[in-house]
């Protein structure tokens, strides 16, 4: 069985939300990964399995890290079955473990993705039970090993997921607000806004504090995965004692790279319960923020120059306060020289702000088509 500590080079795929590919690509390059390429839907890079571990620990933006196990021509269900059987599955999964398979197929003969996933699952369990009869069970909720297959253009690619639980589940969100932003999206917004990690930053509608906490972790060079108890790759059959020691060393090295100094990061909201939630989450994340309970309209952000990155109310809550976009626009218009990033699904904010956005990036969030608008206030 090949250990996860071997020097073999793999191709990885960092899965991400549409619209965030550019910033994920920048992040992975900055983190020193090799052969990083900009690609729609996810970013490929190359490295050893331990590089894959490091991506799970250090990437703030990736939703999942997957390793490519096989790529082969695939036109029919049999092609898929035989191609999957070409992988030595006992390296990753024992007969007593659990398995989850998902697939996306755009091939005519495999047009039903559920059917493609079933073929992949059958190929894996048939290989593993050969001779003995015992086979891994399927567990969609909490599988030891998660397999993903992609079939398109008469080719199939089969991946193993290193993350397990998606990487946005950092482990610090103890209390969620009304519409909490996914941690990976918050991290992507900060990079899209061009925040330099030094200029003071405010989220004046912080809710449970996600944007401010992600900002503090980034500025403090705190690897987001350090708060997680476990990743998917720690449950694979080839994760042995030596691998556990190597992972502990890597965690220690990343912990040692955290910085003590921090720019001023303010998290405010008019709802005191939200500020309490943000306070508890920040404590769990191990970051220090300045908290304020006040209304943005009566207590606008102040100071010579700063950044705002925020996610204002939308949907029903905005319908209840239709004047709010104009009030926010009036606050922004007085923040000369500030850079302001607003993630919203409502066109009312862009209509209310007279400045032209320097960026407008489409990002799906919470089932809605949102736009991240970035303004340099004159």
Ligand X SMILES: C[S@@+](CC[C@H](N)C(=O)[O-])C[C@H]1O[C@@H](n2cnc3c(N)ncnc32)[C@H](O)[C@@H]1O
Contact criterion met (CB below 8 Å) for 92 and 124:
no
Tokens of 297: 């309209």
CA distances in angstroms from 342 to 192, 256, 266, listed in the order given: 11, 34, 16
Closest to ligand X by CB, 83 vs 207, is: 207
Shortest Å, Cβ 291 to ligand X = 13
CA separation for the pair 246, 152 (Å, rounded): 37
Closest to ligand X by CB, 180 vs 232, is: 180
Closest to ligand X by CB, 238 vs 311, is: 311
Shortest Å, Cβ 301 to ligand X = 11
Closest to ligand X by CB, 305 vs 317, is: 317
Shortest Å, Cβ 303 to ligand X = 17
Contact criterion met (CB below 8 Å) for 91 and 165:
no
Shortest Å, Cβ 135 to ligand X = 42
Beta strands in 109-154 (DSSP E): 137-138, 145-152
Closest to ligand X by CB, 27 vs 269, is: 269
CA separation for the pair 301, 298 (Å, rounded): 10
Shortest Å, Cβ 180 to ligand X = 4
The residue number whose beta carbon is nearest to ligand X equals: 207
Q: Mark residue 137 as left, alpha or beta (left: phi above 0; alpha: psi -120 to 50; beta: remaining).
A: beta
Contact criterion met (CB below 8 Å) for 86 and 124:
no
Contact criterion met (CB below 8 Å) for 332 and 375:
yes
Closest to ligand X by CB, 54 vs 60, is: 60
Chain contacts with ligand X (rule: CB under 6 A): 177-181, 204-205, 207-208, 210-211, 269-271, 274, 295-297, 311-313
Contact criterion met (CB below 8 Å) for 152 and 73:
no
Shortest Å, Cβ 215 to ligand X = 12
Contact criterion met (CB below 8 Å) for 168 and 365:
no
Closest to ligand X by CB, 176 vs 244, is: 176
Q: Give which of 237, 231, 241, 281 is closest to 57, Cα–Cα.
A: 231
Shortest Å, Cβ 332 to ligand X = 13
């Amino acid at each position: 069985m090949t250990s996860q500590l071997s020097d073999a080079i793999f191709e990885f795929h960092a899965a991400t939300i549409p619209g965030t590919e550019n910033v994920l690509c920048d992040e992975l390059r900055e983190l020193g990964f090799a052969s990083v390429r900009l690609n729609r839907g996810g970013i490929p890079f190359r490295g050893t399995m331990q590089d894959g571990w490091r991506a799970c620990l250090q990437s703030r933006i990736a939703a999942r890290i997957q390793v490519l196990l096989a790529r082969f021509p695939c036109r029919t269900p049999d092609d898929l079955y035989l191609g999957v059987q070409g992988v030595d599955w006992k390296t990753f999964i024992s007969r007593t473990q659990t398995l989850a398979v998902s697939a996306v197929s755009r091939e005519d003969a495999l047009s039903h993705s559920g059917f493609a996933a079933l073929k992949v699952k059958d190929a894996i369990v048939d290989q593993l039970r050969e001779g003995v009869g015992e086979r891994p069970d399927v567990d969609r909720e909490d599988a030891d090993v998660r397999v993903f297959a992609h079939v398109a253009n008469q080719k199939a690619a089969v991946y193993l997921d290193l993350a397990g639980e998606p990487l946005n589940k950092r482990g610090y969100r103890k209390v969620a607000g009304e519409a909490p932003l996914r941690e990976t999206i918050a991290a992507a917004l900060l990079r899209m806004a061009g925040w330099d990690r030094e200029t003071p930053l405010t989220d004046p509608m912080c809710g449970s504090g996600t944007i401010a906490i992600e900002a503090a972790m980034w500025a403090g060079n705190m690897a987001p995965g350090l708060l997680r108890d476990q990743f998917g790759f720690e449950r694979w059959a080839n994760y042995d004692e030596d691998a556990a020691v190597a992972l502990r060393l890597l965690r220690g090295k990343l912990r040692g790279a955290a910085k003590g100094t921090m720019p001023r990061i303010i998290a405010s909201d008019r709802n005191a319960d939200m500020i309490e939630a943000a306070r508890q989450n920040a404590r769990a994340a191990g970051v220090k923020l300045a908290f304020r309970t006040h209304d943005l309209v009566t207590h606008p952000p102040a100071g010579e120059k700063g950044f705002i990155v925020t996610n204002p109310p939308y949907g029903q809550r905005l319908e209840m306060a239709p004047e709010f976009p104009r009030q926010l626009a009036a606050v922004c218009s007085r923040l000369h020289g500030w850079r302001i990033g607003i993630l919203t699904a409502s066109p009312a904010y862009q209509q209310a702000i007279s400045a032209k956005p320097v960026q407008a990036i489409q990002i799906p969030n919470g089932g809605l088509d949102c736009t991240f608008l970035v303004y340099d206030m004159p």
